[in-house]
Amino acid sequence: MFFNSNKKVESHIDGFSHLGEGASFEGEIHSKGELEVAGKVKGNISAKTLKILETGKVTGHVNAERVEILGCMLGNTSSLNIHVGEKGVVRGDLRFEINLSVAEGADVLGHVQKAKKDKNKKVDNEKVRYLEHNQRAS
């Protein structure tokens, strides 16, 4: 309990929202910052950073820039970076753009896919322009 109270003070300073262990929420969550889930959430979550703690359970789709799954995640996750902890349980697809890390002992069932970055498309556009320019020149 002592550590928990310390964490609480930290959370205020660092500035992230927290859904406690005794919490259960049904519905949508939109966060522009960091969100920590220690309770149960049913519904879709969009956040900058989402951390599902060991006691946390999320049922729904997640869209974020960084996702840490230390608890239970049922549903599809799409994010730039995904980390699954050693006690993490995932039932659903993981779609990431930059980095995926799965700790030893994690339980994952679902498709894992590295999505193409938007940057690649931009490069393609530049190539096309370059080729067109060459054609005109010739």
13 binds another protein (CB under 8 A): no
Evaluate whether 100 touches 82 at the Cβ level (below 8 Å).
yes
For 55, half-sphere exposure in the C-beta direction (CA atoms, 13 angstrom radius) is 10
Name which position in 10, 17, 101, 126 contacts another protein (CB under 8 A).
Answer: 17
Q: What are phi and psi of 24, to 5 degrees?
A: -135, 130
Binding piece for another protein, criterion CB under 8 A, among 10-18, 61-69, 93-101, 109-117:
10-18
For residue 94, which of 118, 76, 74 has the smallest C-alpha distance?
Answer: 76
Which CB atom, from 22 or from 109, has the smaller least distance to another protein?
22
Name which position in 2, 10, 13, 20 contacts another protein (CB under 8 A).
Answer: 20
23 binds another protein (CB under 8 A): yes
Chain mean position to CA 83 = 8
Binding piece for another protein, criterion CB under 8 A, among 24-32, 68-76, 82-90, 98-106:
24-32
